[in-house]
Each structure stands twice: as structure tokens, then as C-alpha cells.
Structure 1
Amino acid sequence: MLLMLVSLLCCVPASKGCLQCDRRIRLLHEDFILSDPSVNNQIELKKICDYAYVTYRETSQKRKGVIDPTTLYRARTEYQSEFDRFLKTQHTGSITFEATQIMEKGRKILEKHLDAFIHDGLCPNKCGLLNRRVMDCISCRYKIYICPSPTGQQDCGEYPVQAEEGGQAVLNCFLPWHRLLLGTPEYHYSWAPGEPGTKTLAESDLKALVVTADSSVVLNQLHLDEQGTYRCSLQGRNGTNFYQVTFLLTVTRLPAQTHRHFITLPSPPPGDNYSPFQTTEDLLVPVIAVVSALSVAASMGLTVVLGTVPPSWKQCELLKYKTPQNDDDSVESCEAAKEEEHTEHDRGWKIKFDVRVHIRSAGQTVYGRSAFDVVSPVEIRGEVALAPPPSQLLSINK
């Protein structure tokens, strides 16, 4: 009995509608029928499926009986999603009743997408001839569907275009439905010179301009003699004219430009050395000489002034010293360094200081006075002879 049912599914012709033209939908229904363990239910489900195909066909025939691949894909994915949800649902009632409901939902999904396709997508050409490829919902085979021009002709009007002399103009005759045309049509551009719109042109008056797969052309660096009537026609390889539009290009002349005249000054008379028109080179020579002399004088003055300024002195803790007690004693701290006088010396500067230092080894405050030879601001030469200070300054740390 099961083998008879399988052969019935494979051999009995079913009325084909747009939805089951997709192989995925047919396999989905067959798997659903064979999944029922009851043979009687399988027979009933097969009858329900066949009747659903009849309703699909009637629905599609009422709507031109054709569908494009995009619309079929949308209807199939939506119905498949609903059917998957149906299979995952726990059914408590009759399986035949549930199957009738889900397949009726498929018919409504097909109806919704076909209505949108027939209304907006089947023949979108408002002017011009459209030959496109669609699927026949009865035979499930592709065929050519012809959408004639609603206006009855392929000439789709004239459009004025204005541009300035030396500028550019863009001519574009593309429309979205051109993508649906079968084959590889090309855009043929031609033109007739002269003031546009003044006379009716014959085909013999137009000169071929360019044949291209692009829908637009750009005219650069326009001249006045390039204005005229430009025509764009979309043609197939066999010469079929699907669409035609005319551009009336007007090139306006640029306003006249005012040319400036440059005044040339008269040349000085020969032999006039004191003329205000004397050359710039002759005037720059004495100026450069004066500036150079002033720069040299300023440099020498700065050298003399800087040479007489006494250098800055280092802190007293950097002085080299020695004591009667120990030549290796080090300065622990320096309280003050007071400059008493300074006189210029042949080796540098001679300065006298009052220096009070602490000797670490002796543990007492001593007083030193000496003169130093200062060669530069960063180097002090000389020695400090340290001796005990007056009694009021003496302090012994025991």
C-alpha cells in the first residue's frame, strides 16, 4: 500500500501553480505527506495537496499567470517559514484539517506577492517597449513576456538642457526598467547641430555620435557650435528600438571680459645718474656697505664691554684650601663669602674673600682670609690659609 502511494505521488500529474514551481516546496509537501504513519492519512493529505495546487493555479491565472524569479523567491521563503513553524507545533486536532489550513495560507501568500508584482513589477515601463523574462505558472518554464509602450510609441519626449560656453553638459537617458530587458541592448547617441527646437528633424539629419553600454555621455568644454538636438535611443543587437528620448542643448555665450592695459613707464634719459628711475642694483650697493660697517662696529663694541665685566663667582664650598692641622680636611659647610675688592690681574681677576668654614676633623669654627686668582667664571685658582678666629668666634665641640 505504501509503495502504491509513493508511485501515486510520483506519477499523478498535479496542476502546477507558481508556488510549487519551486522544487523546495514540492519536496516539502512530499516529505510532510510521507511522514504520517497512517496510510489513510497519507492518501487524504495527498488529496489536500493536489487541491491546493489547483487553487494556486487559479490564483496565478487571475493575475497574468506569470511570475518573475524575485517574486517567486519572496513567496517561497515566506511560505517555507510558515510551514516550518507548522511542523514544529504540537497538533491536537485532525491532521487533515491542519494541513488544509497551512496550504490555504500558502495560497494567500502567493496571492499577496502576485498582486504586488502585477501592479508594480511586471510592466514598469511608462513609455517604451519592454521584453522581459518571466516564469509561466502553468508550465513552470521561462518565457518572454512583452510589455508594450503605454503611449503606443517608443519616443518618450524631449528635455531641454542648458550649459555655458566652456562648461559641460551631462546627457543621461537611463530608466530603472532598462535592466529588465533581455539581451545586452546599447545606447545610441546622435545629434544635429543648430538652434534646437526650431524645426522638425528627420533621421537623415542626425549624425551618429557614440554607441555605448553606458546610459550617459558628458560633453566637456562646450563651444557655441556644439549646441543642437541630441537623441538617445536604446536598441537591441537586432536593431529593435526599445526607448528613445531627445535632449535640446542650448549653449549660452559668456559675457565679454574687460582686458586691462598695463601702463609702461618711460625709460630714464641716457647719462642721468640721479634719476629716480635708477636701477635697484645701483641703490642696494651703498645700503649693504653701510649695514655691514654698522654690524662690525657693534660686534667690536660688545666684545670690549663683555671683556671688562667681572665673571660670576662660584660658591665658597668649591674653593681649594689647606689647614695647619691636616691637608686633607674637608669643608663641612660654608656660611658666607663676601667680596671685598677685586682688581684686574694679568692672569685674570684677583679677589679677596672673608670665608667662614667648618672643619670636620678639628670640630671647630675657623676663620680664613685669602686672595684668589680667578681665570674664568667656572674655575677658581688659589688656596685658603685657615687660622683660628677671634675668641668670640671660637667654638670647640667636645
Structure 2
Amino acid sequence: MTMDRGTAAPARILVVGASASGLTTVEALRRKGYTGKIQVLGDEPHAPYDRPPLSKQVLSGAWEPERTALRAPGVLADLDAEFLLGDEAVALDARARTVQTASGRELSADAIVIATGARARALPGQEGLRGVHVLRGLDDALALKRELLPGARLVVVGEGVLGSEIAATARALGLVVTLTGPLAAPMALQVGPMVSGLLAELHIERGVRLRLGAGVAALTRRGGRVTGVELTTGVHLPADVVVVAVGAAPATGWLADSGLALENGVVCDSRCRAAEGVFAVGDVARFHHEGLGRAVRLENRTNATEQAVAVAGAILGEDRPYAPVPYFWTDQFDARLQLHGVVTAAPGAAETVEVVEGDVASRRFVARYTSDGVVTGVLGWNMPKQTRARRQEVVAAQAALVVPAR
């Protein structure tokens, strides 16, 4: 097999990260006709699994852990890839294209794909304190699930997507839930003030206690177990369990001496290339988006798989920029929110939000976001078909503003 540019396809490909993005890269390579050797290195012992259900279906008990598996064992076997699980990458030599692992392996390849995702951020004093959890992986979800007992007092620190989802799930399980964070409303950064205000109303109606607009000063403890959260305002929130959902940092620590540029992720060009023969995909990749004219790092499930297909193509010589319309969704109580594009305007831009279908009172609507008259995003609240149809407005606006990479 030959690459589009007329050069030979890489004989060996190493994917570092047995994640959704890593697995999809392998699948896309095989679909595109690649027949060479593929190895997949994963730090967890689990075969590739889906993360979005962790804060909802797994945490609520609606799904058994096995249901999160992205592919059945037989389907994975048909990929003819070697999965090296439970062994963490600790170093990369980008020039030599070799990876060192925690167990002492040295893996070499002609092309390397970095798909190591992101790590949950922690609060000072959190380590080793019983009753304090993060939620990033399957084991995290199962450990937290064991403590979500009806009537227990749960404080969720972090009012973003993950924190809001965990608060909703736990409240439905009968816990006494408090959601805290520095912003004024749940998901304010992701959806803007109008929709985040509606989310705040929804959470309050369902019994979630909102203590927003303040940071965390400390976690309080007794005998090695958490007893609550002290806010910077002096307010103390008693807790039997605390979940810290204050965002995630790209997992790039192992790349410190790799020779790659690292700045809020692995810095890549518009083809997701970090260096000759080295690519990045998913939460860890910070790539130049030609449609937006700037570097972006997207933390969502849709990007993980769409970008993986682009990376597979780039490895095999396709020369197309990766310029997606960002997309994410969230389920909280009986609300499903879907957002195509972005809602945050550039500094100094005039931003407007307009309901273009449905109505807010019934909590079934589509809102359109514009910045200086240009459509930047569409958000749907329980109107999936209409939201999908409106996505084309974002696509057209982005296409008209393409800024070529320099």
C-alpha cells in the first residue's frame, strides 16, 4: 500500500492511549486499507470504553460497567492490533519515535499517535483523603458509585458539564446534593448566561442546593475522612462525600523531554501533526483550526472520534485540514442539551442570543448565538432534530471565515 503523496505507508504504527480516540484511529486506519502493524498502549487494564456514560448511566446504576465497552472482544480481535494494556507511557523520543513504558518496554514505530487524553485536576489537600473523588475513568466511577447512598450529603465542587451531570445523577439517587463553584450558574462557560440560568432553575426545582459564586478555601476533615468544603466566603458545606470536578489537564507530563511543543496540550498543525511522524488526537491535542483561525483543544466525545478519522487520513498521506464544528451534549434530569459551535464571543465582540424555535417556558427550544453578526453556535434544549438542522448555519458561517494556517 502507498500513501497519497507517493511515499510508502508506515510499516509500524503505535497508538499511545487505549481511549475512544485511540481505538477510532485504529479502526479508521483499517477502513482506509492500512495493513501494517499496529500497537495500542493503554495505562488502564480495561479494553477501550466509553466515558460519557460514567457520570450518568454507570453512576446511577442503570448500566453495568461492561456495557461501556466500545467494542466486543471479537471485534477488537478482528482489527489485528496488539493491545498492550495496564502499562503507562512514561517518555517519548519524538525524533527516534520510541516510547518508554512504566514496565520497562521500549516501543518503536514509524508513526506515533498520542491519544493520552486528560487527567482530572485536584484540589490542594485532596490526596489520600477518604470520601473525596474525581471522575475521569471507569474505576473512578465505580469507586464513587459505592458511596452514593440515599440520604448522604454530597458536595460537588465544579459547576461545569461534569459537575452538573454528577449533581443531577446523585440527586436522582436520593442524595442531599450541593453544587458549588466560582461561576454564577451551572455550565455558565459552556452555554452562556441565558441557558445556564435555566439550568440553575432546573437544578433548584429538583432539589439541588446551589452555592455558586465562590471558590474553595479548603476541604475539612476528621480522622482522615472528609467532613465538608469550606468556601472562600467562609461558608462551610458539610459533606459525607465530595466530588472534585474542576476540569482536566491534558496528559502531557510524560512528554516533557520529548522535543514536542507543549502548551495546554500537544501543539499540532491543522493536520494534527506535532512533529514528523508524530500526531495527537482527542483531549490531548491542541491543533490549529483553520475555520476559527486559532489553536483549539476540544474536550468532548464527538471530537475524539472525528479527529481520529482525520489523523488516520493524515498518517496515510491525505492532506486535508481538520476544521470541525465543535459539538457536545449533556443529559441532566429530563433535559438534553446539544450545542453545535461555540457560545463565547471573541474579546470585545458584540454577542447576542436569540431563541429561533420553540420557547423557553416549555423548555423546548433552539437558541442561536451570534458574535458581531456572525453565527457562532446553536443550542437545543430537548429539540434534537431542529438543533441538528440549524447546525448548517454554523457550518456556513465557519466556511466563510476560513483563515489559512501560516
Q: Same fold (TM over 0.5)?
A: no
| Larger helix fraction of residues | 1
Please tell me the TM-score bracket, short chain as reference. Answer: under 0.3
Give the TM-score normalised by structure 1. Answer: 0.20
**Which of these two proteins has the greater Rg computed from alpha carbons?**
1
Q: Which has the higher contact order (CA 8 A, sep 6+)?
A: 2
